[in-house]
Amino acid sequence: MDVHLADSGTHEDEVEGNGFVELHPTRDDLGTRLDRFVADQLPDLSRGTVQRLIESGCVRVDNQQRKPKFRMTPGEVVSVEIPPPGIDEILPDPIPLSVVYETADVIVVDKPAGMVVHPAPGHPRGTLANALVAHVPGISVGGSQRPGIVHRLDKDTSGLIVAAKTDRGRASLITQWESRSVEKIYLALVSGSVADEEAIIDAPVGRDPKNRQRMAVVRSGRPAVTRFRVLERFPNATLLEVSIETGRTHQIRVHLAFIGHPVVGDQLYGRVRQTDPHVERQFLHASALAFQLPDGERLRLESPLPDELRAALEELRVRSTTFSRIE
């Protein structure tokens, strides 16, 4: 089963930090307001933020400044200058980190579930960024003490995440993310029995028009490709190894829910089923990460499943053995 749904055009892959993104409206976007179009294509930016960017000249249509209510026409080129996140100073927090690998330029951390990656207005402390600033007091990226976090993991997703400590490290990582040469492997336990041993889900992801708190597969979304293969089967669940070619917000969770097999424990895109094992959060773990260091050396790192996820698998294995005996 390979799932394909036509996307809305060519877009840049999502990369953290400030920079330029080029968007291309298609016929599906004809007549859509500029602010709505940009907000749908860049779901990490709220509608209000997009409107402020438009008013300040950071959004241009065919290199001309337009109003938020400007209506889109296919063939136009919308360029967006994305500013850095809104917290100017990241305060150091001496939070213990599980450092997997570290050089002068980059650091790889095994992030626990429950930790947010970036501070946000009203929540300036307790994040991975705060912990990195404390761990590397001399960190300097882009002339500030910000760590160069070029990708993200959801709060309740555990596993490997890499950050730059220097401009050299950040430039190298961004180049690799944009060229899609980084290998990102996840382990996901999903509800139900997945029919195929392996498959590709190629379906654009954007803001859910019915619920702005969620993402969804929508034709106006940004291209997203997820691959998976089955590692282990249980009577009412399947353990998958998942790799992603793109890095859209909630991509894996959205794609797996889209094919009818939401991640176990995912309260946003799934639902608790009586047959699911007991787990306090979504069963999604970034288990392997491979990329090139600035000096050209290829690096591949792995992270074992956290205890609570291993316990959930053991629960399923015990159930499976009991189920087989009954049959």
The catalytic residues are 154
Report yes or no: 64 and 77 within 8 Å, Cβ to Cβ. no
| Residue the block writes with tokens 């293969």 | 229
The DSSP 8-state label assigned to residue 123 in this structure reads B
Distance (Å, whole) CA 174 – CA 3: 29
Beta strands (DSSP E) in the chain are: 3-4, 19-23, 59-61, 64-65, 78-82, 99-102, 106-111, 148-149, 158-164, 183-191, 198-202, 205-207, 215-217, 225-234, 237-244, 284-292, 298-302
Query: What is the SS3 assignment for 128?
Result: helix
- Beta pairing, strands 284-292 & 237-244: unpaired
Give start and end residues of each alpha helix (H) in 122-183: 128-135, 167-179
